[in-house]
Structure 1
Amino acid sequence: MKRLHVSFNASDLEKSIAFYTELFGAAPSVRKDDYAKWMLDDPRVNFVIEGGGGTPGFTHAGIQTESEEELHEVFDRLKEAEAPYLPEGVTTCCYHKSEKSWTSDPDGVAWEAFYTFHQTEERGHSNLEADAYDVPPAKAENITGCGLSGCC
């Protein structure tokens, strides 16, 4: 079963953690100095907030799968949607080791599709380079902006 992923930057991480803990009725399942994540079942969502410098607000959405098979089905659908498709492969990002790819919708909203293998102690970062792919510059900026700084 897949899970919706939503990521935001926070201007004050501690205040945001307190707010979302109350809103969701649950503490974060992962908590770091610059990162918090809730893996909720109702609603079924992977919700992330990050502190540390990004513009506050929405950064990207995504689909988290529970298996590599599901992930590759989502990848196939992304390719069929005739949207920009940037495969990132296996990477360590935001305290998790995952396989992922990025795209953007017709309005430039960045989306990632990913399968997480396990948690890590290392924050990691994306190695995505949009100029290696045939992606229009406006779309590439949206996708790589998240890939290079946003996390799941």
Structure 2
Amino acid sequence: MKRFHIHLHVDDLSKSVAFYSKLFASEPTRVETDYAKWMLEDPRVNFAISTRGEGHGVDHLGIQAEDEVELAELKARALSVDRTLLDEGETVCCYSRSEKHWVTDPQGIAWEQFRTLERAEIYSDRRPADVEQGVAVGGCCAAAAPRSTVAVPAKSASACC
């Protein structure tokens, strides 16, 4: 079963870990000096935060597949939207070795579709030359496309999204 993925850039990791741990009523499944991740079951989401990259807010969205069949299905869907697909194959990103590809929506929001193969001890296997050639922006976890920043007011006049 696939899992929805959200990755946010945050200014202060420890404050954000405290906030999201209370919000989710769950401690992170992984914490590093620059990264934290919750693998929630209800709702089924892979929620990650990091201090890497520029600014704060939504870095990218995604769908995590459990196996290669699900990933192939996701890739076929991504190819059907008539947008450029960036296929990274196997890579190390966000302290995991994974197989992934990227597509951006019409607003420029990066969508990552991936399956995790195993845990990694480093954040990324990217080299500075990769970033310069447009392979990735802001480290490893962003497709070669503009990054979206979503501003959400602290208090909303409406109770709806």
Q: TM-score, normalised by structure 1?
A: 0.84
Amino acid at match of 1:144: A
Matched, 1:150 2:144: no
Report the Cα distance in structure 1 between the residues aligned to 2:41 and 2:73, rounded to whole angstroms.
22
**Change in CA separation of 1:83 and 1:131 when aligned onto 2, cut-off 3 Å:** farther
Q: TM-score, normalised by structure 2?
A: 0.80
**What is the Cα deviation at residue 85 of structure 1?**
0.4
**Change in CA separation of 1:125 and 1:57 when aligned onto 2, cut-off 3 Å:** farther
In the TM superposition, structure 1's runs of 4+ consecutive aligned residues that sit over 4 Å from their partners are: 126-132
Report the Cα distance in structure 2 between the residues aligned to 1:10 and 1:74, rounded to whole angstroms.
28
**Change in CA separation of 1:53 and 1:74 when aligned onto 2, cut-off 3 Å:** closer
Aligned 8 A contact 2:11 2:56 in 1: yes
Q: Which residues in structure 2 correspond to 1:9-88 (within 5 Å)?
A: 9-52=9-52, 54-88=54-88
Unaligned runs of 5+ in 1: 133-139
Unaligned runs of 5+ in 2: 143-161
Deviation per CA, 1:103-123: give whole Å up to 9, x if none.
101111110100001111122
Aligned 8 A contact 1:86 1:130 in 2: no
Report the Cα distance in structure 2 between the residues aligned to 1:38 and 1:14, rounded to whole angstroms.
14
Identity %: 43
What RMSD, in angstroms, separates the aligned Cα atoms of the two structures? Answer: 2.3
Deviation per CA, 1:1-42: give whole Å up to 9, x if none.
100000001101100000000000000001101100000001
Aligned 8 A contact 1:95 1:120 in 2: yes
Amino acid at match of 2:8: F
